[in-house]
């Protein structure tokens, strides 16, 4: 069975200055979306990654790796 090709990776990262969770795609200069809570950001990134056939990675508030999907 052939391996499914993905179109990059989205990252959910906490911005401690703005106190928001940002969604950014690897290689992009701009933030795609910002959400007040991590749960909202994860819901949004799941939709984005599914629509774009991409993966996503979530980080904790302290910047440490938490989850990859």
Per-residue pLDDT of the chain (69 residues; tens, 9 = 90+): 445 566 889 999 999 999 999 999 999 999 999 999 999 999 999 999 999 999 999 999 999 989 787
DSSP letters for 33-67: EEESSHHHHHHHHHHHHHHTT-EEEEE-TTS-EEE
pLDDT at 7: 82
Distance CA 46, CA 62 (A): 22
Nearest Cα neighbor of 43 from 6, 19, 10, 17 is 10
Any idea where the domains of the chain sit in the sequence?
9-58
């Amino acid at each position: 069975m052939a391996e499914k090709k993905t179109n990059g990776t989205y990252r959910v990262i906490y911005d401690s200055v703005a106190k928001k969770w940002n969604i950014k795609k690897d290689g992009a200069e701009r933030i795609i979306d910002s959400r007040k809570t991590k749960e909202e950001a994860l819901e949004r990134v799941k939709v984005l990654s599914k629509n774009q056939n991409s993966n996503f990675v979530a980080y904790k508030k302290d910047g440490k790796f938490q989850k990859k999907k």
